[in-house]
Structure 1
Amino acid sequence: MAVRTPSYDIKRERRDLYTGKVGRFDVVEVPPMRFLMADGHGDPNTSQDYRRAVEALYATSYAVRAAARAELGRVHTVGPLEGLWYADDPRVFTARDKAAWSWAMMIWQPDWITPEILSAALERVTTTRVPDANERVRFTEHAEGTAVQTLHVGAYDDEGPILAQMHEEVIPARGAAPSGHHHEIYLSDPRKVEPARLKTLLRQPVTI
């Protein structure tokens, strides 16, 4: 009888980076990790560019998973959607001025994904599902290092006070300063979970 190889799940293997507790601010060390990314600007609730970017990321990630399983015999669980958010004036985040936001949406990829596997996956996606996926999606390593993170449960628009607390109280109290882009990890599917129950990790890289 063949032994079934368990799926590698980044949320299970790195619980320190993909779990948290409401009201607790953790300091974590984030190693360099590889992601599929898609960049854009504007309100994610109304931007067609945002919707297409997320569609391209998911389609490519599942195609990568299938290609890795077929070619390498290695199986992984597709990671959650994540996002880097930035703007010339960071106050637009606490003010929820979404039209001023820039973003890089992303999905984690395991170390065994090669450029050849990605190329095959993108070819499949561009010919079957998302014609411009090859133009939208990039494969890159992202390094954050030391970061402060906490879990938010609730609507995305209710994040403002927690972000203000993180930046104005928690980070300065630890003798640190923000560095790099604000990072969010979406642990819930907003299509299936009501806004009041959405779980989102809020992370800010810092220098100490």
Structure 2
Amino acid sequence: MSSYDVKKDRRDLYAPKADEFALVDVPEMAFLMVDGHGDPNTAASYREAVEALYTASYAVRAVAKSRLERVHTVAPLEGLWFADDMTVFLTRDKGAWDWTMMIAQPDWITAAIVEEAMVAARRKQRPALDLVRFARYHEGRSVQILHRGSYDDEGPTLRRLHDEFLPAHGLEPTGPHHEIYLSDPRKTEPARLRTILRQPVDGA
């Protein structure tokens, strides 16, 4: 039984280069999501959201394997980040951040599978499981780049994106800042973290 891995199947979306911005067309995809607010380093709601997403995603994987005989690798954690004043991402005012944390699901995962999986997941008694929702998200045309290093060192790359690359190509940001976490921060030193930075755009 072969295993599906979105990172390998969609390398155009999950394996960008670290030294250059790239335009990509992101199709509509299914996700498990949790919405929240506050500093991801200190807010208990953030930690609980991430725990709930992984618990739910592994439960979905188990149900899909049992019911459909299809196996997939649980996708990496992703986050949509937004605020009334988007400059708080450049100044790193994390307490003002709103976020939607999410984990992509294969196309064959249905609402019925998720519903069955959530019954099993709730046995784990994760506080945020009732906040998990199954939804589709269409990002469309976007610019992305791979960031190597600490999350707090993303500022210069984001400034290059917004102050140089987008104006030079006649592009405007159209949606939340998107990050995809390819490394586990619990096991990886900050200098070796790999994070995809993505921005949906419109324009020329």
TM-score of the aligned structures, taking structure 2 as reference length: 0.98
What code does the residue aligned with 1:102 have?
A: D
What code does the residue aligned with 1:125 have?
A: A
Question: What does residue 173 of structure 1 align with?
Answer: 168
Alpha-carbon distance, 1:203 to partner: 0.2
Identical-residue share of aligned pairs (%): 60
TM-score of the aligned structures, taking structure 1 as reference length: 0.96
The within-5 A match list for 1:92-103 is: 92-103=88-99
Distance in structure 1 (CA, Å) of the matches to 2:171 and 2:98: 24
Q: CA RMSD in A?
A: 0.8
Question: What does residue 200 of structure 2 align with?
Answer: 205
Distance in structure 1 (CA, Å) of the matches to 2:196 and 2:140: 16
2:152 is equivalent to residue 157 of structure 1:
yes
Gaps of 5+ in 2: none
Question: What does residue 34 of structure 2 align with?
Answer: 38
Q: Which has the higher strand share?
A: 2
1:76-134 C-alpha deviation (Å, 9 max, x unpaired): 1100000000000110001000000000000000111111211111111112342541x
Aligned counterpart in structure 1 of residue 123 of structure 2, from 120, 124, 127? 127
Aligned residue-pair number: 203
SS of residue matched to 1:32? strand
2:180 is equivalent to residue 191 of structure 1:
no
What code does the residue aligned with 2:60 have?
A: V
Greater shift, 120-129 or 48-57, is seen at 120-129
SS of residue matched to 2:71? coil
What code does the residue aligned with 1:194 have?
A: E
